[in-house]
Amino acid sequence: MAPSHEQLARNARFVFHGTVGSTAPREVRTAPGAQAVTVRVDDVLQGPEKLNSYEGRDVFVILKKGEKVAKGERAVFYANGVAFGDTLELESIGHLPAQRTAGLRAAAAPSTVLKKRDVQERLESADIVVVGKVAAVRLPPSERTPRTTARGLAASAAAPERGPITEHDPKWREAVIEVDRVEKGSRNPKQVVIRFPASDDVRWFRSPKFVAGERGVFILQRSEEGAVPAARGRATGARALAAAKGPDVYTALDAEDKQPPELQEEIGMIVRGAAAAASRSATSARPAVKRKSVRESAAKGRRSSR
Amino acid sequence: MARRSKPRGTSRRRRTGMTAQSGSIVVINMIPKALSGEAEQDSEPSLAVDPADPRRIVATAFTPDPMGTGFAPIFVSSDGGMTWAVRSTVPSANVTGDISMWFGGGGRLYGGILKVPGRLLLNVLRTTDAFATTPMSVVVNRSQVDQPFVRAQTIGTRDRVYVGSNDFGSAGGRTATLDISLNGAGTNPEFKKVRIERRGTGSAGQDGPQIRPAVHPGGTVYAAFYGWRSFSATDKVTTDVVVVRDDQGGNGPQAFSALVDPSDNLPGRLVARGVAFVWGRLLGNQRTGGDIAIAVDPRNSRTVYLAWAGLDGADYTLNLRMSTDGGATWSANNLRTKKRATNPALAVNARGTVCFLYQQVTGNGANERWVTTIERSSDNGVTWQSNVLATVPVAVPTPQFQPYIGDYAGLVSAGNTFCGIFSANNSPDATRFPSGVTYQRNHDFQTRRLFDVNGTTQVSVSIDPFFFKVTD
């Protein structure tokens, strides 16, 4: 059975109505031996903001093995980027002919559609999703010791007991969240703590920052990355997070992990929809297959197509 | 379609790889036309030139994957840097925490990254085809490591690979480290860690993040680093500038012990002592925390140049010195001193000409500018020829993150040619590029505006990587 629009769109970063220009064989440096066609982008359905202006432009699409298109054919193309040079080269996940996609139009701006898919992925991998308010922002226990104490050790002493001095220091902070509602998760805490990087270093600047008083939907993970910096004799990594006293401690490191409160209802529907689908899957006789992320699929596709 | 015009006073450049006219300077904005809508902060660039075919060049920066597919991008050029394409082959989630690359033999490319996600997670990468779209392979994977910096050299039929890093897993706070493979092209290349700090690091408890190897084609390897000695309550670093050398490429039990300092008879020549700077203090809108560059003359492994940063009074200042005896003694005075400057890069070409790249803040207040300059000397640093590549406002655009223009820039020699890379404000204003400039992305030099791929939607000014090339 041919894949649906929904199935293909979940594995593609760039989805567009296009018209096949030339199907004459052309040399594609990035994929020797592969067949590439020129496609005019008529209407972008889903894609990063940087590609919004491609409407009316030609792109090269490297077809997947066995995929066929005809000159002049109109179709919806599902693709991922391979190379940006003088032109844009895409690698096809597949395409659906125009007659099967009649009336298919983006419900929102292409970048918004893609962002929603990214949020959906974060929701699927989240340990807990809560709606609430940032009651306070504080230093985590590991950061409360003044730097002078740690770094003022005598030269003859053992290496100071603190995290390393690096330009990539996350500068961990903790946001204490008063939980109004749990959208995903088996527990029902009144409070959770989000450990977040206050750093503006390239490694961390995209991670959400939190300020007291703000409300939102928080998509949270128990993450190794947010663990207390190693101090000798103490638990580290996820064990340290798990062992932390008081409210549960999580991280929200992806840019999509903090969503505005107005999206609460929509996010709740996504979570409940996913839960219902998982329940149906569990009750069916077939073994459950974990859906691959777009990124995993893109990587696998690139490896297998060579 | 945007009008594409040439900068005033710039003649048409030949697009023939390394055959640029002697003395001429070529500057290229590296963002490709297909990414004309790009407005990211593409800072901290690095560059690698394939010694087997110098037309093949790879560059990196903090450019995120335009598609968000889960791999970080590299820039590639197959025509000597005149045109560039972006492809995402680095196994790190859309960006890296740090990245540098270098070519070995046979077109093999080696990389050192801090992987995302991960906590200071070093990955040493390798590919046999830098221009393929298949992801690079991971050959080393280790955490608690900072600022990997890669160099390689083919000796006989084998690639020797050197990755400088600040390895916090090292005992006793002696963190300056080289990961060395004497056969990087092997099926499962073995990397050994060599700790090149032999002294105590005092209250700092570690060395500085910049550990920079330089490899001579004959096999001699140098490495330069900051041997931190103290770190104060006000984040002031006091440090030695240390150079180590190994004449067998690190292939021996007492690796990198060839240079001994007469003051304590320990390996590692203390080129400068008591150097100070303040960790994280801004220069312009770029953080500082030390800068080191080292280069060896390909004609003579005993001739080596070293640049480092430290405070001169209140000014963060670059110092350049040379040694003609393999690092045992150094010029008593600076060959060059550049106040309020950062991102030094050094290379020596096949004729023995040394090239010194740096980025300097000039002016004051609203007139502050980032000025990117190369200086070349063909007489062992007696006389210098200076060329400004870019002079742009310090305050525009607003920083998205640190580093604003990068904690380093890049410079490579290939024959008689120097190839380099720096990051700067990308406004298409020919007056800001006194040595000329060519843009691939849609632009209009008359109105000084950038445009998206549709040629009509205006794009904001941002930080872009610029490639340059000059033939001696």
pLDDT above 60 (res A161): no
Partner-chain contact A13 B68, CB within 8 Å: yes
Q: Give percent of chain B above pLDDT 70.
A: 95
Worst-scoring range by mean pLDDT, A129-143, B186-200, B278-292?
Answer: A129-143
pLDDT above 50 (res A232): no
Q: B56-112: per-residue pLDDT in tens?
A: 999 999 999 999 989 999 999 999 999 999 999 999 999 999 999 999 999 999 999
Partner-chain contact B135 A302, CB within 8 Å: yes
Contacts of A109 (CB under 8 A, 6+ apart): A52
State the helix-helix crossing angle for A110-125 and A264-283, rounded to 10 degrees. 60
Which of A238-244's residues contact partners 24+ apart within 8 Å by CB, and which partners?
A241/A195, A244/A193
Contacts of A206 (CB under 8 A, 6+ apart): A254, A255
Partner-chain contact A296 B70, CB within 8 Å: yes
- Region A104-124 average pLDDT: 89
CA distance A241 to A304: 38
SS3 assignment, position B12: coil
Partner-chain contact A48 B95, CB within 8 Å: no
Question: Closest partner residue to B133 among A154, A168, A302, by Cβ?
Answer: A302
CA distance A269 to B98: 39
In Å, how far from its chain's centre is CA B198? 26
When pLDDT is cut at 50, 70 and 90, the band that residue B21 belongs to is low
Partner-chain contact B402 A202, CB within 8 Å: yes
CA distance A124 to A128: 10
Tokens 């894949």 found at: A3
Q: What is the pLDDT of residue B5?
A: 40
pTM: 0.92
Q: B286 at the A interface (CB within 8 A)?
A: no
Worst-scoring range by mean pLDDT, A225-239, B113-127, B365-379?
Answer: A225-239
CA distance A298 to A80: 7
Partner-chain contact A52 B230, CB within 8 Å: no
Q: A172-208: per-residue pLDDT in tens?
A: 999 999 999 999 998 899 999 999 999 999 999 999 9
pLDDT above 80 (res A160): no
Question: Closest partner residue to A155 among B70, B203, B407, by Cβ?
Answer: B203
DSSP assignment of A190-257 equals SEEEEEEE---BTTTTTS----TT-EEEEEEB--GGGSPPP-TTS--HHHHHHH-SSSEEEE--SGGG
Domains, chain B, with CATH or none: 17-471 (2.120.10.10)
Q: Considering only CA atoms, give the Rg of chain B.
A: 21
The answer to whether the Cα torsion of B136, B142, B143, B148 is positive or negative is: negative
Q: If you count residue pairs, one on A and one on B, with CB atoms under 8 Å apart, how many are there? A: 181
Partner-chain contact A225 B117, CB within 8 Å: yes
Q: B263 at the A interface (CB within 8 A)?
A: no
Chain B CB contacts of A56 below 8 Å? 454
Structure tokens given for A105: 């139009």
When pLDDT is cut at 50, 70 and 90, the band that residue A100 belongs to is confident
Partner-chain contact B407 A167, CB within 8 Å: yes
Chain B CB contacts of A90 below 8 Å? none
Please state, rounded to an integer, the average pLDDT across all residues of chain B.
94
Beta carbons of B423 and B43 less than 8 angstroms apart = yes
Dihedral (C-alpha) A181, A187, A190, A195: value to the nearest 10 degrees? -100
Q: B231 at the A interface (CB within 8 A)?
A: yes
Number of C-alpha atoms within 13 angstroms, CB side, residue B369? 13
- Widest distance between CA atoms in chain B: 67
Cβ count within 10 A of residue B278: 16
Beta carbons of B149 and B210 less than 8 angstroms apart = yes
Task: Evaluate whether ipTM surpasses 0.85.
Answer: yes
Q: What is the pLDDT of residue A245?
A: 55
Dihedral (C-alpha) A134, A139, A140, A141: value to the nearest 10 degrees? -140
Q: B310-348: per-residue pLDDT in tens?
A: 999 999 999 999 999 999 999 999 999 999 999 999 999
Domains, chain A, with CATH or none: 5-106 (2.40.50.120), 109-150+162-306 (2.40.50.120)
Closest-CA distance of chain B to residue A254, Å: 10
CA distance A66 to A219: 40
Q: What is the pLDDT of residue B292?
A: 98
Contacts of A131 (CB under 8 A, 6+ apart): A179, A180, A181, A182, A183, A215, A216, A217, A218, A261, A264
Partner-chain contact A168 B206, CB within 8 Å: no
Q: B132 at the A interface (CB within 8 A)?
A: yes
Minimal Cα distance from B119: which residue of A? A225
Minimal Cα distance from A304: which residue of B? B134
pLDDT above 90 (res A290): no
CA distance B354 to B297: 8
Partner-chain contact B69 A201, CB within 8 Å: no
SS3 assignment, position B59: strand
In Å, how far from its chain's centre is CA A29? 29
pLDDT above 70 (res B276): yes
Q: Scan residues 173-212 of B and list those with Cβ closer than 8 Å to A.
A: 173, 175, 200, 202-206, 209
Chain B CB contacts of A167 below 8 Å? 146-147, 209, 280, 287, 289, 402-403, 407
- Going from the C-alpha of A285 to that of each of A274, A275, B399, B445, the distances in angstroms are 19, 18, 55, 65
Beta bridge partners of B275: B239
Measured in residues, chain A has a length of: 306
